[in-house]
Structure 1
Amino acid sequence: MLYLWMPNANEQWRWSIGEQWHTAASLDELKDAVAVHQLKHVTVFFSSLHVQHAQFQLQKTHFKQLGDQGIRYLIEDQLIESVDQVRLSYVYANEKLSMMAINKSRLDVIQHSLGLVPWQVDALLPDYLMLPIPASKQVILKTWGTQFLLRQSEFQGAVIDDLDIFCEFVEDDQQVVISDADVNLYEVLSERLAPEQIVRVALPEIFLDKFKRHRFNLWQSATKEQTISPLWKACAATVCLAIGAQLIHDGVRWYKLKQVSDQTAQLMIDQYKQWFGQGYRVTEQNIKSDFEARVRLSQSADLSSMSLLSRIGPVISQQNVIAERIQYQDNILTIDLKATNSSVLESMTQQLNQQGFKAQLGNIQTVGNQVLGWIKVQ
C-alpha cells in the first residue's frame, strides 16, 4: 500500500510505503520514485486545515429523532460557512456524536487533483489520522514540516501553527505525547509545560488503521454521492433488460399475429374469387358488402342462406372445388361447382351428409380436363 500526503501551496509531496516518509518536488518525480515498488493502491492524506470538527453528547433516542437532515444543522453555528456548502461526515458511538465538515469546492479540487495519479485511491483522509489514537487525558503531537499535527481523540484532530497558543489550551491534568526522536519539539514544550505533562514515546511514522473503511474516508463518501451505486446500476440494467425483452416479445407476437391475420384475409379473398370469379377488385373491406349484394340477387334469399353457406364453405374449400354460381330458394342452397374429377364432387357430397346436411349431387358433365356439376344442400 502506498501512502501519500498532498502538499499545500508550494510544499512538496510526501510518500511512504508504511515506514519512513520521503519527499518529491513534483508529481512526475513522485511517479518515478514510486514506480520501482509496483504499487496499485494508495491512501491519500490531505491537510487537516481544510476540515472543521465538532462533538456533541446525544442520547440515542434524540439521535434517531434528528435523522440525517437534522444532524447537519447541529454543526451550523460552529461553521464559518453555510451548512449547505460543506460535505459532512459523522460517527455516533457511546452517546457521543463526532462530526467533520469540509468545503465541497475544496473537496472537489482534491478529487480532481487525484485524478492525475496512476494509482487506485482507496481512502482520502485528513492527515491527523496518521497519528495513533491517544489515551484518555492525552493528546498526540507530531512535527510535520513547518507545522504540527495534533490528534485529540479517535475522531478529532487539527494542524497547529503556533505552539504558544496550543500550550495555553493544554489542561493541567492533560499530557502531550510526542516522539522521543523529536528533540526540537521536546525543547519547545519543556519551556511551556510541566515535565509531567510531556510524554516521549516511539511513535510510528504512520498509524496503520483500516483507512478504507474509516467513517471519515471522504473518497468513499464522495464516490457514493457522485455516482450511482453498482447495486442500483445492476437493478436498473435488469429492469431495462426485462422491459426490452418484453417489448421484443410483444413486437414479435404482434408481427406474427399480423402475418396470420393478413394471410387469413388473403385466403378469404382468394376463396371468394374462386367461388365468384375475378369480377372486380375484391378487398377485405368490401368483400362483405359484395357478398351480401350477390345473395340479394338470388330470388328469395334471406339471412339463413349466409348461415348455411358459412357452414359448407370450409368443405368446399377443403376439396379445392370452385363455386361457379350460388342460388338460394325454398331453404335449399344450389351451387354450381367445377372440380378436377367426379370423385371429388362425390366425396364432398358424402362429407356434407356425414355432417348432418341433406346434400344431393346432380348431373355431372366433363368439360376438357375438368367436370361440372351441381349440388343441392339443405
Structure 2
Amino acid sequence: MLHVWFRGQQRPLAVWHLDERRWHLVDHWQQLFDIYGIHGAPNITLYFPSQHLLHVESSLTSAQIKQLGIGGQQYLFEELFLGSVEKLSVRQFGGEPTQLYAVDKNDIEAWQQSAALVGLNITAMLPDFLLLPIPEASSDAPELTAMTLYQDSVTTLSRQSDAQGLAVNFLPLLLSRLPSQTVIELLPAIDTDDGMASTQMQANTIALIKQQGFLVNLLPIYPEPVLIPERHALNFFAKKSQAVLSPYLKTAVMVALAAWVLQFATNGIELLRYQDAAAKTQSATAAQYQAWFPNEPLNPKGLLQTQLTPKLRQNSSDANAPVAVLSQVSPLIKQSSLTAQTLVLAPDALMLTLIAPDRSSLDGFISHLTTQGLSANLEQVNNTEQNQVLGHVRIIIVPSSADNLQVAPSRPALS
C-alpha cells in the first residue's frame, strides 16, 4: 500500500518510502501511477489537507453522540459550514470531551475521482495532521505542555493531542493562544530540495517561537503515516456498498411497511367475510326460491330478477283482488249509513267492524253485498253503551283468474 500526502491543488504529491523513512515528491497523479503502478493499480492511503476539516468539541458522551444519528451529528456543524450540512461526512474521535470532525462529501468525491482517473484505488482517507507524532510532556517537567508543529512551503500543521490537530493559517495567532508553559516540538520539512529556502523558513519559525517565549525542541524525524489507516476513527473513506440508511429513514420505512401489511391483512379479512356472506346469501336465496317454486329449481348462472319477473307479473291480478273488493264495499257502507271502525285487509278476505243504529241496518248491508256478488258473513253482533250495534263482517274472496272473483258460500250470522 502506498501512503500519499496530498497537500493541495497544483502542489507536488508526497509518497512515503518505508525503507528510507522519508517522503519523496512527484509532480502529479499521472506521474505517481507511472512510477508506482508498474505492477498494477496499487491501493493508496490518501492524507488530505486538514484545511478541509471542520472540528467541533462536544460535551456529549459517545453514547449520546451515537443516539443523535447521522443527521443530528451533521447539524452540530451548522454554524461552521456554509452549505447544506447533509453533504458532510462526520467522524468521532477521542474520549471525553468528544472530538467531532467533518469533511464535505464533494471534496471526498473529487479526491477519489482524481485518483481513479489514473487507475489508482483509494482505500483510506485521513486528515494530514495525523502524520504528526502525538506530543508527549516531559517526565522531568510535568507542568509543561507539549505541541507538535510542522511547516513547509505548502502547509503548516499542529497537533495538541492524540485527538486534536489542525491546519495553521497564521502561526503568530496560534502561538498567542497557547499556554505560557508550552514546549513546541518542531519537525523538519519534507521538501528539503529547496535547500536554503527550507533552512531559512525553519530558522524564521524558531525565531518567532522563541520571541513568544516558548521552548523549542527540534525533532529529527519526519511526519510518518498511520500504522493501520483503514481502521482509524478518522478514516473518511467509505465504500458505496457500506452506505446505510439513517435511523430516521429506517423508522419511516418500518412504519410504512407495517401500515402496508396491516392494510393488506385488513383487505384480506374483508374479502373473506364478503365471500362468506355472498355464499350464505346465495344459499338462502336458492332455498327461498325452492320454497316458493318447488317444481322449478333456481338456475345459479342466471339472473334472479330474470327468473322472478314472469312469476310476479302472473300473480299481480290476484294480489290486487282485495283492493278491487274494497272499492266495491266502500260506497255501500256510505249508502247504508254505517260507520267503519276497523278494517283488516288480507289476501283472501276483508274483515270489517261496523257501527250501525240497529241490527236491521247490518242485515240490509249484507243483502247489498250479496246483490253485488260478494260473499259476506255477519259473524258477530254486539250492543254498545250508546244504544248502537257493533257488527263484525267478513267478506270472503277466492280469486279464480286475473279478472274474475269466486265468492265462497255464505255462513249464517251469529246473534
Give the TM-score normalised by the residue count of structure 2: 0.48
Question: Which whole-Å CA distance do the structure 2 matches of 1:138 and 1:38 have between them?
Answer: 43
Query: For residue 162 of structure 2, what is the amino acid of its counterpart?
Result: E
Q: How many residues align?
A: 226
| Cα distance change on mapping 1:222 and 1:64 into 2, 3 Å | same
Asked if structure 2 preserves the Cα contact closer than 8 Å seen for 1:132 and 1:207, the reply is: no
Tell me the CA shift for residue 213 of structure 1. 0.5
Choose which of 177, 180, 190 in structure 1 pairs with 2:207: 190
Question: Which whole-Å CA distance do the structure 2 matches of 1:104 and 1:34 have between them?
Answer: 27
Larger radius of gyration: 2
| Cα distance change on mapping 1:149 and 1:223 into 2, 3 Å | farther
Asked if structure 2 preserves the Cα contact closer than 8 Å seen for 1:56 and 1:96, the reply is: yes
Asked if structure 1 preserves the Cα contact closer than 8 Å seen for 2:36 and 2:42, the reply is: no
Tell me the CA shift for residue 37 of structure 1. 7.8
- Give the share of equivalent positions with the same residue, in percent: 23
Match of 2:58? 56
Query: For residue 21 of structure 1, what is the amino acid of its counterpart?
Result: W
Tell me the CA shift for residue 52 of structure 1. 1.0
Tell me the CA shift for residue 196 of structure 1. 5.0
Match of 2:234? 216
Tell me the CA shift for residue 99 of structure 1. 0.8
Match of 1:87? 89
1:75-114 correspondence to structure 2 within 5 Å: 75-91=77-93, 93-114=94-115
Tell me the CA shift for residue 55 of structure 1. 1.3
1:56-205 correspondence to structure 2 within 5 Å: 56-59=58-61, 62-63=64-65, 65-91=67-93, 93-135=94-136, 137-179=145-187, 184-193=201-210, 197-205=215-223
Tell me the CA shift for residue 94 of structure 1. 3.4
| Unpaired runs of at least 5, structure 2 | 138-144, 190-197, 246-415
Query: For residue 10 of structure 2, what is the amino acid of its counterpart?
Result: N
| Cα distance change on mapping 1:38 and 1:152 into 2, 3 Å | farther
| Cα distance change on mapping 1:79 and 1:17 into 2, 3 Å | same
- Greater CA deviation, 196-205 or 21-30? 196-205
Secondary structure of residue in 2 paired with 1:8 = coil
Asked if structure 1 preserves the Cα contact closer than 8 Å seen for 2:47 and 2:125, the reply is: yes
Tell me the CA shift for residue 123 of structure 1. 0.7
Asked if structure 1 preserves the Cα contact closer than 8 Å seen for 2:29 and 2:115, the reply is: no
Question: Which whole-Å CA distance do the structure 2 matches of 1:26 and 1:226 have between them?
Answer: 34
Match of 2:12? 12
1:274-285 correspondence to structure 2 within 5 Å: none
RMSD across aligned C-alpha pairs, in angstroms? 3.0
1:219-230 correspondence to structure 2 within 5 Å: 219-220=237-238, 224-225=242-243
| Cα distance change on mapping 1:117 and 1:17 into 2, 3 Å | farther
Give the TM-score normalised by the residue count of structure 1: 0.52
Tell me the CA shift for residue 226 of structure 1. 8.5
Tell me the CA shift for residue 220 of structure 1. 2.9
Tell me the CA shift for residue 30 of structure 1. 1.9
Question: Which whole-Å CA distance do the structure 2 matches of 1:209 and 1:112 have between them?
Answer: 25
1:222-371 correspondence to structure 2 within 5 Å: 224-225=242-243
Asked if structure 1 preserves the Cα contact closer than 8 Å seen for 2:184 and 2:216, the reply is: yes
